[in-house]
Structure 1
Amino acid sequence: MQPLQIVPIATVVGGHTEVLDDYQGGVESIIRLREDFPLETLQGIKEFSHLTVTWHFSRSGPEAVQLHARSPRGDARWPATGTYVHRNHRRPNQLAISYPRLLGVDGRDLQVTDLDAVDGTPVFDIAPWFTDMGPRGPVQEPAWPGEMLKDYWRDADSR
């Protein structure tokens, strides 16, 4: 199998300047589409309230990947879980998916809030959030993600 080669289509501008585990909410940033893509690639996107954004943990590197079970955030209160149960930079391809709220469109700039990527982050894909493409049926998860993420979307100013 040949490796997939993808290049960024956009870059995060502004917003978070440091990598944080919590306090991701209320920060506005811009997803700036590359200039070699025509503006019509964004035609109709302003009709949507939220986006699905695939981005790269670019401030990390291959040395951060951990292919073993571990407690989330190294906190023994939560059970050791495998690499594919975590949603962080320790995954092999170091990709993330976020669902920011779209505030506006100005040319190639998508103004968003609640994007948990830092300034300068490469973006590999942008799509509108379709409610009908979300999970089907009841959603089930253990208690620890809610405990761990209780402050994740808390307003950044409340730190």
Structure 2
Amino acid sequence: MKLVPIGTVQGGRAEPIDDGWDGVESEIRLDPAVLGPDAALGLDQFSHVVVVFGFHRLDAAVVEHNARHPRGRQDWPRMGILAQRGAPRPNRLGVTTCALLGVRGMVLRLRGLDAIAGSPVFDIKPHMTGFDPRGAIREPDWAREIMAGYW
């Protein structure tokens, strides 16, 4: 399987900083070589979108294939890379639900996308509450702590 970016993140942050993403506004410019001009038609009826993007500046040498302490913090437990949301994943893919501020043709304006300028975008889906988890949610204390300042 070969992934082809459908667009690119423009604006927002230039550097991957771990916290304070909620106020960050950016755009995704869709690629007309991949998508037709009406690919985002109707997307503006949704308040949020799910964006799948690449950690394009992450050095392959730091990719984790096993376990590590989240953010390198020894006071948090060592966890397998699949039990955390950190960037150094085998396929270097990020997934974020963010606010959709507007759609203008092939440009989407967003708030809270935790991807940096230049990040390739591989997919965009409307957030639908019907796909939210069903039942009680369980997560460890360190996971709640790591997100305290993220947004």
Q: What interval of TM-score do these two structures reach, taking the shorter chain for normalisation?
A: over 0.9
Match of 1:9 in 2: 6
8 Å contact from structure 1 (residues 64, 89) kept in 2 = no
Structure 2 distance, partners of 1:76, 1:98, is 26
* Runs of at least 5 residues in structure 1 that lack an aligned partner in the other structure: 154-159
| Alignment equivalent of 1:132, drawn from 130, 133, 144 | 130
Structure 2 distance, partners of 1:100, 1:19, is 17
Match of 1:71 in 2: 69
* Runs of at least 5 residues in structure 2 that lack an aligned partner in the other structure: none
| Alignment equivalent of 1:117, drawn from 115, 118, 126 | 115
SS of aligned partner of 2:68:
coil
Q: Check if 1:25 corresponds to 2:18.
A: no
Give deviations 1:53-90, integer Å, cap 9, x for gaps: 00000011321111222211111111111111121221
Identity of aligned residues (%): 43
Structure 2 distance, partners of 1:56, 1:91, is 10
Letter of the 2:149 partner, please give it.
D
Q: What's the TM-score, normalizing by structure 1? A: 0.91
Match of 1:46 in 2: 44
SS of aligned partner of 1:42:
coil
Structure 1 distance, partners of 2:69, 2:59, is 20
8 Å contact from structure 1 (residues 88, 94) kept in 2 = no
RMSD of aligned residue pairs (Cα, Å): 0.9
Matched residues, number: 150
